[in-house]
């Protein structure tokens, strides 16, 4: 099957152009990727699972926790922007995406936090993520944010139990910072460096309760100075996002060669008093598996392979 992968981008592009919904159309060029290498790794019918030791600042103190990054390709509906149950039944609506599910779990005092981010980025169409969602649950309540890309912009919905936020609907005209994770895994060359407008990370916005809006940022990619997550410094690059007015810096440490594995990351927040808080995640383990089929009690030992509590 893999020997036919070189024809897949053209086939899917032709299907996609004929099946794009009128409400969702925008000018779409094709991505320039090494699709042979991409297909060998990402079209195995399995996901890449990564576990991380998490140091997360909350309420002015560093908390110990765990993070998980799950990357997998799947068929997505152009029209509904949801996972297709039967893509063969409507090939014109099918769009191949690289999906990220990121989870963070940590405890603040007596009560736990559980946070999750999902990003859906087209593999063949050179457009940003078509959908981003984020949720946060803790004993005070829970919140949910969703971005849907339509007509080149994002329709945003925010649902919160905080009175000052409440329910919001707005339109944002910038790329989500969260899209950088999946673009990096496709190919770091897909990421434009220099000055750019971004929608700051949705999970960060859930922690700070800053207004959800576009912010000016600078993106750069440099060689890593230190080792991380079992990788030597000479094998790593760093993707850095630094905002001009929003008090946040993101650094993602990734391998400089395909498949651009993520060794860890840092999120730096400058408080109003000028003090900096650095939250950090360092990779513990990696597992390639069809995890959605590993749902029996006999599969629970696989969590030990990921070094998960």
pLDDT digits (tens, 9 = 90+) for 190-241: 999 999 999 999 999 999 988 999 999 999 999 999 999 999 999 999 999 9
Per the prediction, the chain carries an average pLDDT of 92
How far is the C-alpha of 290 from the C-alpha of 43, rounded, in Å? Answer: 12
Tell me how far apart the alpha carbons of residues 294 and 300 are, in angstroms, rounded to a whole number. 8
Predicted confidence (pLDDT) per residue in 15-57, tens digit: 433 334 444 556 568 999 999 999 999 999 999 999 999 999 9
Domain count for the chain: 1
Residue whose entry in the numeric block shows the structure tokens 């981010």 = 117
Task: Report the pLDDT value the prediction gives residue 165, as an integer from 0 to 100.
Answer: 86
Contact 71, 48 (CB under 8 A): yes
Of 182 and 12, the structure prediction assigns the larger pLDDT to: 182
At residue 12 the predicted structure's pLDDT band, cuts being 50, 70 and 90, is very low
Q: Which residues contact 84 (CB under 8 A, 6 or more apart)?
A: 74, 75, 76, 77, 90, 93, 94
pLDDT at residue 289 in the model = 98
Q: Which domain holds residue 247?
A: 2-305
Res 279 pLDDT > 50: yes
Query: How confident is the model at residue 164, as a pLDDT?
Result: 85
Question: Which comes out higher in pLDDT, residue 22 or 284?
Answer: 284
Q: Give the model's pLDDT for residue 24.
A: 53
* High-pLDDT (> 90) share of the chain, %: 85
Taking only the tens place, the pLDDT of each residue in 117-130 is 999 999 999 999 99
């Amino acid at each position: 099957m893999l020997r036919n992968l070189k024809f897949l981008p053209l086939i899917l592009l032709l299907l996609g152009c004929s099946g794009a919904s009128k409400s969702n159309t925008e000018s779409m060029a094709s991505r320039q990727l090494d699709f042979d290498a991409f297909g060998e790794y990402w079209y195995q019918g399995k996901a890449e699972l990564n576990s991380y030791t998490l140091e997360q600042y909350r309420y002015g103190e560093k908390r110990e926790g765990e993070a998980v990054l799950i990357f997998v390709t799947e068929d997505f509906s152009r029209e509904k922007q949801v996972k297709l149950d039967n893509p063969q039944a409507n090939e014109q609506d099918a769009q191949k995406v690289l999906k990220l599910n990121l989870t963070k779990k940590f405890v603040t005092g007596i009560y736990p936090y559980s946070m999750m981010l999902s990003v859906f980025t087209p593999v063949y169409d050179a457009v940003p993520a078509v959908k981003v969602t984020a949720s946060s649950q803790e004993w005070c309540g829970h919140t949910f944010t969703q971005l849907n890309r339509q007509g080149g912009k994002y329709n945003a919905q925010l649902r919160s139990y905080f009175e000052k936020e409440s329910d919001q609907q707005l339109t944002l005209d910038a790329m989500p910072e969260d899209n950088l994770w999946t673009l990096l895994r496709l190919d770091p060359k897909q990421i434009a460096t220099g000055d750019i407008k971004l929608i700051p990370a949705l999970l960060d916005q859930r922690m700070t309760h800053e207004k959800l809006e576009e912010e000016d940022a600078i993106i750069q990619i440099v060689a890593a100075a230190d080792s991380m997550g079992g990788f030597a410094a000479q094998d790593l690059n760093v993707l850095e996002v630094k905002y001009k007015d929003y008090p946040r810096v993101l650094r993602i440490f990734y391998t400089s060669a395909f498949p651009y594995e993520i060794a860890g990351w840092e999120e730096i927040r400058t408080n109003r008093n000028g003090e900096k808080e650095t939250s950090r995640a360092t990779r513990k383990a990696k597992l390639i598996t069809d995890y959605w089929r590993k749902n029996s009690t006999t599969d629970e030992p696989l969590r030990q392979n990921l070094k998960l509590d």
